[in-house]
A = this chain, B = another copy of it.
Amino acid sequence: MSDFFVQKLRHGASLSEDDERALRALCMNVDKFDPQNDVTMEGDKPKSIKLVLEGWACRYKLLENGKRQIISLFLPGDMCEPYMTLPQFMDHSLGTLTPVTVARVSPEVIKAVARERPQIEKALWWDLLLAMAMGRESIVTLGRRSASERLGHLFCELHVRLDKVGLVDGLGYEMPLTQSNLGDLLGMSTVHVNRSLQELRAAGLVTMHGRRVTILNLEGLRSTSLFDPTYLQSYTQA
């Protein structure tokens, strides 16, 4: 039973049994997608909010010169859009990185649930504000961090995010991104991703075998990557 969505939102507000049932009831319309597929394309007029139940997806944009930038990652439990208002048309695309299960939720239904259940409204706002904080940190990363700092920072962020939905075991986690994906996400070339990954490995901070990331020295990785988890916590209630 994939319950990542509820598991995530518990961090944003304390939910009753009824709240959790109401959240699960939102996830009735489910679609499955293969890797590297578009869930929603730029220009589409979306009719539903997308919710990633399982697998990894992303928000991305293609430039006219052919370059691609991944704007944000969606991990299991992540919502792709704020619950209140859908755009007239998408200014970006949503695509899968692995096999993905998506729930399509009608904005009217989710708005009604939020109106009736204050804790759910609170949790949805928390989710939105957290996504915004992560977006701000991405700007800092892309503007002012070096290539290996970017990679290290990403691994630290994923460690925190995946831990919130129970997908970290011991020192590591499954990380299904290719080096080309990492390049599109961190604004660098595939070759340089490879080089920088080797730097981190040589420094004894992280290793990647296959799809698995193992953090060998969390404190070291955090400090060399200038990772300060504050931005992931500043909206979390005491």
Contacts and interface: CB of A to CB of B under 8 A. Distances in A.
Contacts of A64: 226, 228
B187 A87 contact: no
- The listed residue with most B CB atoms (<10 A of its CB), out of A61, A63, A68, A91, is A91
Nearest to A82: B129
Interface stretch (A49-57, A135-143, A162-170, A206-214): A135-143
A142 to B, nearest CB: 4
Interface residues of A, number: 47
A226 to B, nearest CB: 5
Nearest to A124: B84
A226 B65 contact: yes
Contacts of A129: 82, 85, 87
Contacts of A171: none
Contacts of A235: 85, 87-88
A71 interface: yes
A136 B92 contact: yes
Nearest to A223: B64
B238 A144 contact: no
Contacts of A140: 61, 63, 69, 71
Given A87-B235, A144-B69, A61 B136 contact: yes
Nearest to A135: B135
Contact of A71 (B72, B136, B145, B234): B136
A132 B135 contact: yes
A141 to B, nearest CB: 9
Interface in A194-238: 226, 228, 230-231, 233-238
Nearest to A65: B226
Nearest to A183: B143
A139 B88 contact: no
Contacts of A237: 88
A59 interface: yes
A143 B143 CA distance: 8
Interface of A: 59, 61, 63-65, 67-69, 71-72, 82, 84-85, 87-92, 122, 125-126, 128-129, 132-133, 135-136, 138-140, 142-145, 186-187, 226, 228, 230-231, 233-238
